[in-house]
Amino acid sequence: MTIALFADRAENWARYETPLRNAFAEKGVEVDLIRETDTPEMVDYVIYAPSGPVSNFSPFTNLKAVLSLWAGVEKIEGNASIKVPLCRMVEDGLSEGMVEWVTGHILRHHLGMDAHIQNQNGVWRNDVVPPLARDRRVGFLGLGELGLACAKAASGFGFDVSGWSRSLKSIEGMRTYAGANGLTEMLQRCQILVLLLPDTAETRDLLNAKTLNLLPDGAFIINPGRGSLIDDDALLAALDSGKIAHATLDVFRVEPLPSDHAFWAHPNVTVTPHIASETRPESASRTIAENIRRGEAREPYIYTVDRSAGY
Ligand code: NAP
């Protein structure tokens, strides 16, 4: 019998136990799903979150794979005791949630909704009519599972969409870029910039004083990726100067964002508490079950992390 250890916080066991058992049944895999073990050498798979009880994988001497419940793996991929394939979480619920959150915030800035939501003062201000999406240039840093889904949704609305990734992509109806020159070229055209990159050695501080300055004056930034992608001080300076009109930030270098951080008080920053999207147990369990099915059938895993690239 295949043994899978659920290694996340106790409260998540209640959310995941039934969906995981249902997903194993749907996939036709016989799995003994356990929460703790005295015989780690018997465990085939660890269903994993860094907030759970496991940090040293060395006792799991016969492990086949580590299956992350989290999409971002920056707190996992450097764990030297993981010697087996590490798979990150990709699942429909997470992607759908991200598409909805990102699209909502793009539309907020595109339509200038704040002007009327925040300033109802009896004055009939009909001098500014929102432009059409086709006249708004929206760029995505990161065209992976989430970035591409969001970019396609924006494209569906008619926005003029561009995207940047590590390897150059060819996507119908989208301008695509890669590399340092590609980044420079793309930033110059992005009136709304969405960050959906992972936190790696290469992406840290990608948006800094120099790169922020490439954006058109009055650009909007939406960051549901990782806080480390942006140099906070450079962003605050760009907001103060008006170079950046508004930043909607869901992720931060320190979470929860300390209550005295300047982002909370800045009039042109919207702080959301890392809620852009989250893993949904039903759909996430299907991803876990599919990878266990693959492992048992000796088929390649899906969504494996490239540990040399860090994501
Ligand atoms: P993914 O599928 O791994 O995609 C990552 C994208 O970033 C890929 O397009 C990749 O390029 C690109 N990239 C990586 N390093 C790069 C570099 N040095 N230069 C240029 N492009 C680079 O990841 P995902 O599933 O879309 O998730 C993206 C991030 O979203 C996660 O890492 C996590 O940090 C964040 N997230 C946030 C929330 C939230 O609630 N706020 C929820 C889930 C995830 P290639 O395509 O060439 O590989």
pLDDT in tens, 59-100: 999 999 999 999 999 999 999 999 999 999 999 999 999 999
Can you give the pLDDT at residue 261? 98
Amino acid at 41: E
Can you give the pLDDT at residue 10? 94
**What's the CA gap between 280 and 91, in Å, rounded?**
8
Ligand 1 atom closest to the CA of 198, numbered from 1: 32
Using pLDDT thresholds of 50, 70 and 90, give the confidence band for residue 149: very high
Mutate to test the pocket of ligand 1, among 166, 187, 275 (most ligand atoms within 8 A of CB): 166
Here the tokens at position 150 are 């969001």
**What's the CA gap between 277 and 284, in Å, rounded?**
13
Before 40, cis peptide (omega within 30)?
A: no
Ligand 1 atom closest to the CA of 168, numbered from 1: 47
Burial category of 204 from C-beta neighbours within 10 Å (exposed 0-12, middle 13-18, buried 19 and up): middle
CB 69 within 8 A of CB 291: no
Nearest residue (by CA) to ligand 1, atom 33, is: 72
What is the pLDDT averaged over residues 246-271?
A: 98
E runs forming strands in the chain = 2-7, 31-34, 45-48, 65-68, 86-87, 137-141, 160-165, 175-178, 192-195, 219-223, 244-249, 269-271
Ligand 1: residues within 6 Å at CB? 71-72, 90, 94, 142-147, 164-167, 196-200, 202-203, 224-226, 250-251, 274, 276-277, 311
For ligand 1, the distance from its centroid to the CA atom of residue 197, given in whole angstroms, is 4
Amino acid at 108: R
Q: Which segment of 3-17, 112-126, 265-279, 283-297 scores lowest on mean pLDDT? A: 112-126
For ligand 1, the distance from its centroid to the CA atom of residue 196, given in whole angstroms, is 5
Can you give the pLDDT at residue 119? 82
What percentage of the chain carries pLDDT values higher than 90? 99
Nearest residue (by CA) to ligand 1, atom 30, is: 225
Nearest residue (by CA) to ligand 1, atom 44, is: 71
Mutate to test the pocket of ligand 1, among 165, 183, 204, 226 (most ligand atoms within 8 A of CB): 165
What is the pLDDT averaged over residues 135-158?
A: 98
Can you give the pLDDT at residue 18? 98
For ligand 1, the distance from its centroid to the CA atom of residue 142, given in whole angstroms, is 5
Give tens-digit pLDDT for 110-135.
Answer: 999 999 999 899 999 999 999 999 99
Q: Which segment of 34-43, 113-122, 212-221, 264-273 scores lowest on mean pLDDT? A: 113-122
Here the tokens at position 153 are 């949704």
Nearest residue (by CA) to ligand 1, atom 5, is: 144
**What's the CA gap between 229 and 258, in Å, rounded?**
18
Here the tokens at position 49 are 């979150």
Can you give the pLDDT at residue 189? 97
Nearest residue (by CA) to ligand 1, atom 43, is: 71
For ligand 1, the distance from its centroid to the CA atom of residue 265, given in whole angstroms, is 29
Ligand 1 atom closest to the CA of 165, numbered from 1: 21
Phi, psi values for residue 91, rounded to 5°: -160, 155
Q: Which residues are catalytic?
A: 226, 274
Q: How many helices (H) and strands (E) does the chain have?
A: 9, 12
Using pLDDT thresholds of 50, 70 and 90, give the confidence band for residue 190: very high
State the chain's mean pLDDT as an integer: 97
**What's the CA gap between 87 and 103, in Å, rounded?**
27
Using pLDDT thresholds of 50, 70 and 90, give the confidence band for residue 161: very high
Closest by CA to 255, choosing from 280, 283, 276, is: 276
For ligand 1, the distance from its centroid to the CA atom of residue 228, given in whole angstroms, is 13
For ligand 1, the distance from its centroid to the CA atom of residue 58, given in whole angstroms, is 28
Rama region for 103: left / alpha / beta (φ>0; ψ in -120 to 50; rest): alpha
What is the pLDDT averaged over residues 282-306?
A: 98
